Structures are given as C-alpha cells and as structure tokens.
Chains A and B, each alone.
Chain A
Amino acid sequence: MNLGFRHDFETLKWMKPLAIGLLAVMSLGLVPHAARAQDMSFDINETESTPKDKGKAKDKGKAKGKAAKEEEPAPAEAEAGASGEASGGDVMSDISSDKGKKEKETDEGGLPREKEVAEKIYAVQRMYVLRRGRFELAPSMAFTVNDQYVTHNALAVGLNYWVTNVLAVGANFLWYQGIESESALNFAIRRSARLAVPVTQYQLGGNLNFTYVPIYGKFEMFNDSIFQWDAYLVGGVGVLRTRPVAVIDPAIRTYDFDWRVAFNAGVGLRVFLTKWLTVFGELRDYIYMEKLESLQVSLSDRKVPTTWIDANSTLTNNVMMHVGITMFFPFTFEYRYPK
C-alpha cells in the first residue's frame, strides 16, 4: 500500500521498464497521478470500467488514457479494480523491481522475455466498501459539549440511504428526556452570585439530513493492519421539542413541551471495522430559536401563563458529540465487473 503520494516518483526511479514486461508497462501507462485518484475512489465506476474506459473517462484523450487503451487488460485483470499501489509503486513496484532484475538476467537478444506471472496482480485495487444503494443504521449516544448549565445528553438513532458512494439522505431521532441533567454550576451561580440562569429541558428531536463524504483515507497500524475511514459533512432541518425549566418563579410557573424548528450542521469521522460495521464520532450543532422563562415576575398577572415566557426568542446552539456504531444493510454487496 502506498501511504505517501510522492512515493510514486521515488519508485519510478527504480523501475526498469524494459525488464519488467507487461506489468511495468501497465504501471507506467497508468502514471502516478491517475493512480492516486483511483487509489481511494469511492466511485463504483472503478469496479465497472476497464482501464481503457477509465482512461477515456478520466483523461479524455490524455496520455495516460491512451496508454491504458493501448494496454487493454484481460477481464481477469480488470475485475479487481485499480490501484495506486500497483502503479504507484510500493509493494507492487517493489515486486516488479525484483522481477525486472531476474528477467534482465535471462534476457536474450536484448529483448525482454515476457514471463508468465502466476499470481493475479491487479492494476487497480477495488474499493473496500460500496455504499451506493445500501442503508445505514446508526445508533449512538449523544453528549452536549457547549451547554454548561444543562447537559442535554440523548440516545440517538439515524438511518441513511446512500444515493451514491459519497452522498446519503436520511433522518435521525434523539430522545433526551430522563437522560439530561442540570449541572452543578447552575446551583453554584445561584448560591454565590444570586443569579438565575434560564435553562430548558429537551424531550426529543428529529431531523432530515444530507450526508456527504469529501474526505477519506486509510491508516496502517504498525505496518500490519490497514483501517479505512472517512470524514463527512452532515446537515439538515428538523424539529426539537423543548420547554423552559422554571427557576425564576418555580412556585407558580410550569411549562409544557413545545415544538421548535431546528437546523443542524456537523462533521463526523467513520472508521470501518468490517464491510458492514463502523464506529463513528460526530460533532453536530443543532441550531434553533429557544423560548426561555421570563426573568420578570408580574405581581398583578403572576398566574397568567402568557407572562411566564420571555417575549423574545433566543438563538441557541446545542453542540452535541455523537459516538456510536453504524451498520450497513444489506451486509454484503457485489462488485460489478466488466463483461
């Protein structure tokens, strides 16, 4: 696996094109830049098109496309997909270099002798997981990270449908009531400064969301295991059901839950454990206009509920950290190979 994009150039120095036969010609034909783009593409076309198609599609007549066209591989080679590794040059090119030396030793008449390679060595590594057309179920625990007065923790579940390998539409649901708690800071402020901070209680929330994956990568651990991951953007709109907690005049005031319109935007990180199971962490800001308890107590209308709510709404950002797992359904998928 190639973990440094400039390795391609380093490796090219070692290659001896005349000696490594068909494999090296393919590698050169796919040139490092193309290989990099292919290396971690989430485009299903990666698995559907031959290098010939890829050359056409990606380069539209450029040299690398031509090279790929000239060296149209057998279906068996194409089926496993493309790889920056193959042409990019670490493991594959290292093997190629060794082969090149051996073949050069048996060279006759100055021409490289084509050697049969028993191992299937693919030009492009197929992507680890296909998401298009699959559902993703994401249970999680959510924690408030920006509200010092009330921790609006929640149990959450999300459901996404992946329209493409990088774009999903979905919904999520959060249940807060019974899980959130008031912090000790509130009590301390009331005691030390005689200052009451209006707080609210949440019951539930629901949102419709888009998810887009602009960043993805892989990590190796001690040069042994490789983990695929991606970072994503999420955003949408939904509802939140909240109510004020009476702290100014708790003897009289009580409140019912009411609906608020909430927008949300966030970023997340997903690490694939298997082809259907991931762990994820997500930071999401739920933005809405909150109705807080009125700081004024009307002596004449103290028991009139309309005087209990502050006339002005307050823009509220409830930033939450989601930690959980996601499961893709169906569990398995098929790579579609060129015919």
Chain B
Amino acid sequence: MSTMKRLAITLTTVVAVLVLSGTGQSAQAQEVNVQGPLAGAPAVINMRIYRQMRLQLQAHFSMTLQDQFSRAMMAGGQIMFHPADWLGLGVWASFAVANTDTALTDQIVSKGQTNGVNVLSLPNPARFSSQIGRINYIIAPEVAFIPLRGKLGIFEKLFVDADLYAFGGVGFVGVDERANVDSTKFQSCKPNAMSNNGGLASEVACLSNSQGARATRTAIAPTFGIGLSLYMAEFLAMTIEWRALPFAWNTSGTDEAGDARGAYPDSQINEQDRLSHFNHMISIGFAFYLPTAPKLSTAGNE
C-alpha cells in the first residue's frame, strides 16, 4: 500500500471519527423535545408493532455479487420469530437455481493458454468452466436486530411504513469445487524426459479428467448484513437485503499455493489453494407475518 493511500485512508478515518464524535450532542437535537402535556411522551404512539410476537415467513430471490468466475441465482425462504419488535430469531436458507459464468470465465475459455507451468491449473482452457467453484446452498441460523422503524414517502404521494434491520449468524455454505489432485497424480502425468512421448499434449490428456472432477463440502462462515422492510399491508412486507459470507474457497479450481519457500506451483490442488473471498449477495423477498394483525403501541407500550 502506498504512503499516499495510507495517508488518505488515515485522514478520512480521523475526520469521520472526529465529526461523528463531535456531533453526538447535536444528534440528540432530533429527539422529541416537547414540554407541557407532551413532556415525557414516547416518540411514537399508536405505532404499528409489526414484529413483536409475530412469526415471519419469507420467500426470497438472491443473487451473488462481484463474482469472479460464477454467479449464483438462488431462491429460498426464511422463518423468524420476534420475541420483541427489535429482535428476531430464525433461520435463513437459499438454494442455487442457476449458476451463470462471468465474462472472465468466458474470456479464459476462449483465450486462455496452457504451458508447462500452468498445465495443472488449466489443463484445457475450453473446459475451464467445468473446474470453477460454485455455491449450491446456504443455510444460516441468525439473529436479527431491528433498531430503526419509520416511514418513507415517495413523491409526497405514497407513504409506507418501513424498518431497517441488521442481522448476523452462522452460515453453512454448500460449495462445489474442483476435486483435489495430489502431487503423485500430477507427477505421474509428467512426460518421461527420456522418451519425451507427447510432451505437453500427453500431460494435458492425462490431467484432463481431473479438470472436471468435482468435490462438494460444507463451509462454515460468519454471515451478516442489513435489510430494509417496506410494509405493503399489515401482514405483508417487501424486503431488500444485503448479505455477506466471507470464507475461503477455490473459486477458479487452479493451483494457487506454492511450496514451503513460496515457489509456484506446488503441483497439487488441495485446501491450500482456497483463497479468502468476501462473498456477498443481494436478496429481494416478500415476508408474511402471523398473526396477520399487528398491535398498536400506546404511551406505556412502545
């Protein structure tokens, strides 16, 4: 990281911290500050309590973002119970219904090249699509925290109740990756230096089967994100969610690791080739609430 970059990030952080810490008092200015008959009243009375003691059933569609080689389109659901209006406990699940290759994958398929150094990583460029990693499913027990509740108006015509929430939990991610190739297998495919029978072409042919061999596993990853609910009715909300799932996996199916001295390649495909990725996705869903009628808050029950 360059000195200028470090300086810029440091200055930005310092300014942000100073500004935010310095405005703590001012931020309070938006509190309801009423004297007289309204003194001490809560900010909101007769607010619809959409979540408290209600069960949320959600159907959603998700799409992964910033994927290097494969994008997952997923569909799933969520069940969540809210013991309080600001707290929810539940399980979120999503399953891949389609995986599409990115433009980079297409470029490698059409223009990638294989030589003696990268023959294990890319035995056959035309078959690169068969070696890349894909997400099959995500199941995440999680806790939702709903600190902000309000409404928004669009063009001063349409007004809807809304809440902003954050969530966090543990994600169990089903991934489908290129199967391991050990160094013994790789060495066995090396052309005999003495006979030189076929050279690179024979090596490619020998490794070709390993390119399409698949292995599945369940990766455990933290998951967290934020969401916005727009209440279309007392029992129905549209939700927009951003979710992160950072974990390590071999998205390209290539040999990324070196030996103990860092030399490349180490001539095997295994867990050491998994690189950390900040996987994230966006979801749009519809949430149904049971019972269908929410309570209203009162002065003593917000």
Contact = CB atoms under 8 A, between A and B. Distances in A.
Contact of A226 (B19, B31, B112, B152): B31
A325 B19 contact: yes
B272 to A, nearest CB: 14
B46 A90 contact: yes
Contacts of A195: 107-108, 111-113
Interface in B48-74: 48, 66, 68
A19 interface: no
B16 interface: yes
Nearest to B4: A178
- Range for the number of chain B residues in contact with chain A: 35 or more
Given A91-B45, A195-B112, A274 B148 contact: no
B46 A225 contact: no
Contacts of A325: 16, 19
Interface in A131-147: 139, 141, 145-146
B126 to A, nearest CB: 12
Contacts of A7: 46-48, 296
SS of A interface (majority): mixed
Interface residues of A, number: 66
A41 B153 CA distance: 9
A189 B12 contact: no
B252 A194 contact: no
Contact of A185 (B32, B68, B147): B68
A155 B254 contact: no
Contact of A228 (B30, B68, B128, B164): B30
A272 interface: yes
A146 B104 CA distance: 13
A4 B26 contact: no
Contacts of B128: 193
A255 interface: no
Nearest to B164: A219
A221 B255 CA distance: 50
A121 B296 CA distance: 24
A179 B19 contact: no
Given A179-B8, A273-B26, A192 B302 contact: no
A217 interface: yes
Contacts of B114: 194
B48 A226 contact: no
A193 B112 CA distance: 5
Contact of A141 (B12, B115, B164): B12
B174 to A, nearest CB: 24
The 7 A-B residue pairs with the shortest CB-CB distance in the complex, in nearest-first order: A217-B152, A219-B150, A119-B36, A223-B302, A194-B113, A178-B4, A193-B112
Interface of B: 1-2, 4-5, 8-9, 12, 15-16, 19-20, 23, 26-32, 35-38, 41-48, 66, 68, 86, 104, 107-108, 111-115, 118, 121-122, 125, 128, 147-157, 159-164, 252, 254-256, 264, 296-297, 299, 302
Interface of A: 1-7, 10-11, 36-37, 39-41, 89-91, 93-95, 118-119, 121, 128, 139, 141, 145-146, 148, 153, 155, 178-179, 181, 185, 188-189, 191-195, 197, 214-228, 231, 272-275, 277, 279, 325
